[in-house]
Amino acid sequence: MELRGSGIGSGIAAGVVLRMPEPLAPASDAPRTGDVETETSRVGAALDRVATWLSQRGAAVGGEAQAVLEAQALMARDPAVTADIKTRIEAGDNAERAAYQAFASFAQILESMGGYMAERAADLADIAQRVIAELRGVPAPGVPESDAPYILVAHDLAPADTALLDFAKVHALVTRDGGPTSHTAILARAKSIPAIVGVAGADDIVNGTLIVVDAGASTVTVDASPEQVAGALERRAALLNASSAPLTEGALTDGFRVSLLANLGAPDEAAAALALGAEGVGLFRTEFMFLDSVAAPSIDAQQAKYTELLTAFPGKKVVVRCLDAGADKPLRFLTHTHEDNPALGLRGLRALRANENILRDQLTAMANAQAVTEAELWVMAPMVADAEEAAYFVGLAKELGIRVAGVMAEVPALALVADQVVEVADFVSIGTNDLTQYTLAADRTLGSVASYHDPWHPAVLRLIKMLSDAGSAAGKPVGVCGEAAADPDLAIVLVGLGVTSLSMAPSALADVRAALLTVTLDEARARASRALTGRSAAESRLLGSR
């Protein structure tokens, strides 16, 4: 039996299943017996112990996991949660029930926001479990212990659980819930471990089942045969050999050059990307400076971060995306109005245009950093829908001193008028995550529609072809900076469609570099032509992978 979800990376693993333990029994709804102050004090102490443990664990593991756990510790110390718990205790709830209900209430708010914020609801549920365990004086549910290697299967993984994983024993992750931006996905990429999230049917996989996890194909093979396991191990060995190959520039076997770039979220990620062979940066996300702020950072503060980034890449291309706020990344100083469907609301360039002072400050800071560094700075706007929006952004960027200004193609409308867009934009970068979800009307964070969110779908490939053809006709570069670029087989097809650069998580560079070296440009184009004729994502993948 084969199950599908959203694959993270391109790794392959085969092994027996060990499931995460079930959560604690629900909090009792019995009325409070102790006095208000005693019960409130008990919960406060439990919250403090949980927050302290999360912070200490984060400091111990370091890296990206530390930032995730620190964010969770802040949630545990949120005064709004503490006040809500006290109110519930005063109304008669016992300590456990008050804590559970308070966190559930805040989680429901996040879930209603959708996207990235909805995925943070799982973090609140994890804190509630840990607080209740503290109140009961029992261990919190956590990662199972095993002397033998295994593949971990769960409903979902909280940040603390993922940070506790021993990757010498955990060879892959499979979750029922979550999407490509969940903490499970983020940390799986950082650790280069195969993972598939949003797997319908994952709850039916029992302990001890032999499975094959193929992240590149986004498939979980249940009750795998000896032949399927042997094939998986052969493919895994090939991937490991590829990862140890010498670092070279991206190219096909006939010498046709394809720039291999890195997607980064902070300047301190630059060194690791360079060590893995990144030829530059294809997507630098600037949200990290804004998401935890009550006001937009100053020009000087932003300039310091951009200068740090550009200094790490002298003589190399660095593509910086302007603030992509709204939808799953709301900002109180930018997107304060409630929207019933924020993914289709005031986000990306629309939000920046409505608050042009923030956009002007950001572009000014980038231009200042550009003037004092030797990197080749390219700047792009998110969520651009047509040529008018492209002209607005490019004009403003050039006015403020940006030399190279382009747009992201995430909305199908932009592909349909690509010939008009490339008349005004210096380049186009395709964000396949959003392009896929908007094309197929499938929220990329929902496991229930994960099977629809597949960039191999012929509709998505045809839009990419339209964008590439328009760029080629105008002599303008068209790159891909979405998750699709990290799929080695799809990377070949993208090049065959006319894409000029591929940007991905640094851990995927070796696999993609090795895959490109197996084909000529004519062979890549032939694969792309076959993939375009598919009648489904699965058929296009089959046609384009050979």
Task: Clarify whether 453 is annotated catalytic.
Answer: no
**Total length of the chain:** 546
Q: Report the distance separating Cα 262 and Cα 317, nearest Å.
A: 10
Q: Give phi and psi for 213, each to the nearest 5.
A: -110, 115
Distance from C-alpha of 474 to C-alpha of 423, rounded to nearest angstrom: 7
As given in the structure block, the two tokens for residue 230 are: 């042997």
Distance between CA atoms of residues 407 and 390, nearest Å: 7
| CB distance 430 to 481 below 8 Å | yes
Taking the C-alpha atoms of residue 546 and residue 543, their distance in angstroms, rounded to an integer, is 6
What does DSSP assign to residue 223?
Answer: S
Residue written as token pair 């756990």: 69
- Alpha-carbon span 199 to 194, nearest angstrom: 14
Q: Which two tokens stand for residue 449?
A: 């529609």
DSSP string over 436-474:
HHHHHT--TT-GGGGGG--TTSHHHHHHHHHHHHHHHHH
Which of 171, 183, 453, 457 is flagged as catalytic? Answer: 183
Q: Which of 171, 322, 457, 481 is catalytic?
A: 481
Nearest Cα to Cα of residue 214 among 493, 70, 5: 5
389: number of Cβ within 10 Å:
22
Task: Note if 322 is an active site residue.
Answer: no
Distance, CA of 343 to CA of 113 (rounded, Å): 9
Q: Is the dihedral of CA 301, 302, 307, 309 positive or negative?
A: positive
Q: What's the gap between Cα 329 and its chain centre?
A: 13
Q: How far, in Å, CA of 186 to CA of 343, rounded?
A: 21
Structure tokens at 175: 């979750």
Helix, strand or coil for residue 542?
A: helix
Torsion of CA 517, 520, 523, 527, to 10 degrees: 40
Nearest in space to 304 (alpha carbons), one of 356, 268, 343, 351: 268
Buried b (16+ CB within 10 A) or exposed e, 493-507: bbbbbbbbbbbbbbb
| DSSP per-residue letters across 267-303 | GGGHHHHHHTT--SEEEEE-GGGTTT-SSPPPHHHHH
Element (H, E) at 416: helix 412-416
Residue 233: burial class (beta carbons within 10 Å; 0-12, 13-18, 19+): middle
H or E stretch covering 94: none
Residues 6+ apart with CB under 8 A from 1: 221, 222, 223
* Residues with a known catalytic role: 183, 481
